Amino acid sequence: MAELRFAMIGCGFWAGYQLSAWHELPGARCVALVDQDVSRAADLADKFQVPAFYGNAVELFDQQDLDFVDIVTNVETHAELVRLAARRGIAAICQKPMAVSFPQASELVAEMREAGLDFLIHENWRWQPTLRRLRAILDSGLLGSVVRARIDYAHSFPVFDNQPFLKQLDKFILTDMGTHILDVARFLFGEPRSLFCTTRRMRSDIAGEDVATAHLHMDDGLSVTCNLSYASHWFRDRFPQTFVDVEGTQAGVTLDADCQLSIYRSGKVESESVSVPSYAWANPDYALIHSSMVDCQRNLVGHLRGESTAETTAEDNLKTLALVYGCYESAASNSVVRLETGPSDSKAQST
Ligand code: 89V
């Protein structure tokens, strides 16, 4: 199969890193860039030798023969761009969060399905080597039955410095980071049946919540607590690292600072350091995330080429978004939210 031709729509802070990740992979070539600020598209095209750039997506679709688009814009524009791709018969990869609400996301999935088009989500967090290794340990049965788990993403990192638009979101940390951490909870522990969430806004200069505490409950009695914060100073404040503590009936495992995985069994500790690929183009503050983008995009382009099955299809990502927007419903009503379940609700097969 020839190289797939794609265009990237959105040339902001994240786009350059996502383009660099594409350059690490065979099988797809960026032939055009789009941004409503056409000078941003021109600058990125010049930096990455992309042959064409446009100020709007309609002109892109009129001028270019594409196999897919990679949508890297702010969430408010995702629906319009996905619908345009559906009308033009073009597959789409979309950055998280897929949409501004669960109903809107469901509509987009239905529209792309009816058009017979691949619709995938660039949800990269589960592709961090530390989390892949932790999933393998969980799958090995070494822990016995999992009693309880906790996922911590609590940092003081000034995330708004590079992404000031995040300040304007009236739903902030659950849409920006809950999309990642709740997807990781599903990847590691399966599908929750109900949840309870509280949120707080600690900063006075932002519109949305910067703290969220979600308790997920699985059918088998397992509870997973997800602690999210961009307002916390504490012992594990190591942006953008995610920390996981899992208690089991036979052993426990902790994903701790600097990619250290420790297994606790019969009073002994066995530790290992998980290696993370480094790329010259990665931003040192975000290197862990940037390395996971390459593996995420490898999985997605393999799906588009018919060579592998994408883990984060938009269909699957609806289950993560159900948790994200269920958390908002729970926080607003101060109540437990029950989640619809389906027969296929088993852990994603890790590849
Ligand atoms: O990767 C992301 O989704 C970024 C960050 C982790 C910085 O919040 O928005």
The per-residue pLDDT for range 177-228, each reduced to its tens digit, is 999 999 999 999 999 999 999 999 999 999 999 999 999 999 889 999 999 9
DSSP reduced 3-state for 185: helix
**Does ligand 1 lie within 6 Å of residue 183's CB atom?**
no
Check residue 340 and give its pLDDT.
Answer: 81
pLDDT at residue 339 greater than cutoff 70: yes
Cα–Cα distance between 252 and 149 in angstroms, integer? 10
CA of 163 to the centre of ligand 1 (A): 9
**Does ligand 1 lie within 6 Å of residue 108's CB atom?**
no
Residue nearest to atom 9 of ligand 1 (CA): 176
pLDDT at residue 343 greater than cutoff 90: no
Pairing of strands 146-154, 223-229: parallel
pLDDT at residue 1 greater than cutoff 90: no
Q: Is 128-276+313-341 CATH 3.40.50.720?
A: no
Q: Is 4-122 CATH 3.40.50.720?
A: yes
**Does ligand 1 lie within 6 Å of residue 289's CB atom?**
yes
CA of 176 to the centre of ligand 1 (A): 6
Mean pLDDT, the chain, whole residue set: 95
Tell me the backbone φ, ψ of residue 270, rounded to 5 degrees: -115, 120
**Does ligand 1 lie within 6 Å of residue 118's CB atom?**
no
Instruction: Band the pLDDT of 150: cuts 50, 70, 90.
Output: very high
Residue nearest to atom 1 of ligand 1 (CA): 289
DSSP for residue 239:
T
Contact 11, 63 (CB under 8 A): no
Please write the tens of the pLDDT for every residue from 247-293. Answer: 999 999 999 999 999 999 999 999 999 999 999 999 999 999 999 99
Q: Which residues contact 220 (CB under 8 A, 6 or more apart)?
A: none
In this prediction the pTM is 0.95
Cα–Cα distance between 60 and 7 in angstroms, integer? 8
Instruction: Band the pLDDT of 349: cuts 50, 70, 90.
Output: very low
**Does ligand 1 lie within 6 Å of residue 173's CB atom?**
no
**Does ligand 1 lie within 6 Å of residue 177's CB atom?**
yes
Check residue 342 and give its pLDDT.
Answer: 53
Name the residue ranges covered by the structural domains of the chain: 4-122, 128-276+313-341
